[in-house]
Structure 1
Amino acid sequence: MINHNGEILDIDAVPFRADFRPTMYGDALFETIKYNGVKLINWEDHYFRAMASMRILRMEIPMEWSPEYLEEQVMETLRAAHLEANAARIRITLYRNGEGKYTPATTAEMGYFIMAEALPDADFELNKDGLSIDIYKDHEVPKSMLSNLKTTNSLLYSLAGIFARDNELDDVLLVNADKHVVEATASNVFMFANGKLITPPLETGALRGVMRKHILRNAKEWELEIEEKGFSPFDLQRADEVFLTNSITGIQWVANYRKKTYGNTMTKEIVDKLNASV
């Protein structure tokens, strides 16, 4: 089932035009949110990130799109899918539609889709087997404010994912023009080095991730020394631990980067603190 502008439909019944702007021009953004069977985790962070992204993209925010309205639309979608008592992955896509080519008509209207699918765990579970990763070098992440946004312009991440699959890797890290590590295909990246937790700053082109923000916000309470600082692939060779974060999986630890192997002692502690904080 899918919620299209407040109407619950079978996914095969969703009306699409051939000139649908999100399809033609990728004129949309989205949020992926975890529902733990009781509440939407970090809902306010997701909502305000989406609204800030809409402003940057010069999208008109409908007056009725309050946090309460969109949250209720999510719950309606969960109920329609019989998932209101289960853990679920939510995707909200906010799009601009209307006439025009690259430049939308001044009468362009906003719309949304909400989809839900079941997840196996309400809590964030650390992956049993660590990830095997490498660097993706074919294309670079632009050092731009647009790179901080979660838009449907995802070709770079699709190509990186194909590279990872073809090379039998679990994920890859993307770099920018400075050859600094930026992020993974669907996650922000953190590394432990010399007793400090380090993550690339937004200026590198990293996504403004909600789970990234949650960890930064709670670092002091969790007694973590943390720094937003650019680092190179070579720096990964000297790290003690590396992990990836996003709103659905929470935290996933990395076991191998090329010939380098990592542990997960500190990462396990952070996962426990994460679950206690949400």
Structure 2
Amino acid sequence: MVILNDRLVEKGKAQIAFNNRGTYYGDGVFETIRCYKGIAIFNESHYFRLMSSMRILRMEIPNTFTPEFFEQQILALHESSDKGSKHSRVRITVWRNEGGLYTPEDQTISYSMELRSLSGPFQKNAVNEVELFKDHLLPLGMLGTIKTTSKTINVLAGIYKTENDYDDMLLLNQNKMVAECISGNLFLRSDNIIKTPPITDGCLNGIMRGQVIAQLKRMFNYSFVEESITPFELQRADELFSTNVVQGIKSISKYRKKEYDTAAADELRTFFNEKLFD
């Protein structure tokens, strides 16, 4: 089952207009939310990012879009779906309704919600080899910080990754600084200093990024800074890891000839698994 504009619908019967603006122009935004026992984790943070993203795209936000509304919709989706797994992910997609060419005829929206099961809590990955993606550069500015449905650079990086047997790619911005991974924010550790690119470098304003930053600032064994990362720093670092709400903290094990430690990522993963899950 999926939710399409407030209604529970069988996946095979969920239909939207062929000329919807999400398909025609990538005129939409989305949120991916991790849930545990049917409850959205970091629900408030996801809600405010979604509302902020819709405002940035000048969409008309329905009066019904409240944090409580989304909690109820997510719970209804879980109750209508397979209850075998405690862990799941919900994707909320919002797109502007059809009409107009580049210029919309109105700002009203449609939305959908879909559920997928996850195998368990945040897992430690075995091998995760990365490389720089140089074919296209991420733009700087506000649009890079939100989850729009037009993620062409991430898609092309994913294809390059598959064709060249890498596990992930590091994306560069227009200043040739390392901004993020395909689907996660990047953190770099040198000795006891951990840093991540600032939002002004064009990286996603990730929910898990914010949670990890808050935790790092509480830890006495590390110092944290938001600072641009140059490609030259990668091979001098002791550790690299990426973050998102579905995978949690994902260690990067190898970049070119450099192999990395996983100490900080392991510590953070343990902390969040104990905090969020039984």
- Is the deviation greater in 267-276 or in 53-62? 267-276
The CA distance in 1 between the partners of 2:84 and 2:212, in whole Å, is 27
Give 1:243-254 correspondences, 5 Å limit: 243-254=241-252
- What is the match of residue 118 of structure 2? 119
Tell me which amino acid in the other structure corresponds to 2:139: P
State the Cα distance separating 1:263 from its structure 2 match.
Answer: 1.4
Distance apart, 1:84 and its partner CA = 8.0
Q: How does 1:64-143 map to 2 (within 5 A)?
A: 64-83=64-83, 86-106=86-106, 108-121=107-120, 123-127=121-125, 129-143=126-140
- Cα distance in 2 for partners of 1:195, 1:219 equals 11
> Residue by residue, what CA displacement relative to the aligned partner does 1:20-69 show, whole Å, maximum 9, x if unpaired?
11111111100101112252111111110000111111111111110000
Answer yes or no: is 1:180 the counterpart of 2:177: yes
Partner of 1:225: 223
Tell me how far apart the structure 2 counterparts of residues 229 and 277 of structure 1 sit (CA, whole Å): 28
- Aligned partners of 2:190 and 2:23: how far apart in 1? 42
Aligned to 2:258: 260
Give the alignment's Cα RMSD to 1 decimal: 1.3
Look up the match of 1:34: 34
Amino acid at match of 1:111: S
| Structure 1 CA distance for aligned equivalents of residues 272 and 195 of structure 2 | 17
Q: Residue 241 of structure 1 aligns to which amino acid in structure 2?
A: E
1:146 maps to a residue whose letter is L
2:170 corresponds to 1:193 = no
**Shift of residue 16 of structure 1?**
2.1
What percent identity do the matched residue pairs reach?
36
The answer for the alignment partner of 1:2 in structure 2 is: 2
TM-aligned CA deviation for residue 89 of structure 1? 1.1
Gaps spanning 5+ residues in structure 1: where? none
> What is the letter of the counterpart of residue 189 of structure 2?
F
**AA at the equivalent of 1:205:** G
Question: Shift of the alpha carbon at 1:104?
Answer: 0.8
User: Cα deviations across residues 166-198 of structure 1 (Å, max 9, x unaligned)?
Assistant: 110000000012110000110101010131111
Retained in 2: the 8 A contact 1:38–1:85? no
Structure 2: distance between partners of 1:135 and 1:83: 40
Counterpart amino acid of residue 191 in structure 2: N
CA 39–18 in structure 1, closer or farther in 2 if over 3 Å, else same: closer
CA distance in 2, matches of 1:52, 1:115: 21
CA distance in 1, matches of 2:85, 2:191: 43
- Cα offset for 1:18? 2.0
The separation in 2 between residues aligned to 1:24 and 1:191, in whole angstroms, is 38
Taking the aligned partners of 2:263 and 2:189, their CA distance within structure 1 comes to 11
What are the Cα deviations for residues 193-248 of structure 1, in whole angstroms up to 9, with x where unaligned? Answer: 13111101011100000000111122222333111100111101110010010010
1:215 match: 212
**SS of 1:60's equivalent?**
coil
* Alignment: residue pair count: 275
User: Distance in 1 between the 2:84 and 2:140 partners?
Assistant: 40
> 1 CA distance for matches of 2:160 and 2:85?
37
Structure 2 gap ranges (5+): none
TM norm structure 1: 0.95
Assess if the C-alpha contact under 8 Å between 1:142 and 1:205 holds in 2.
Answer: yes
Residues 39 and 74 in structure 2, CA contact (< 8 A), matched pair in contact too: no
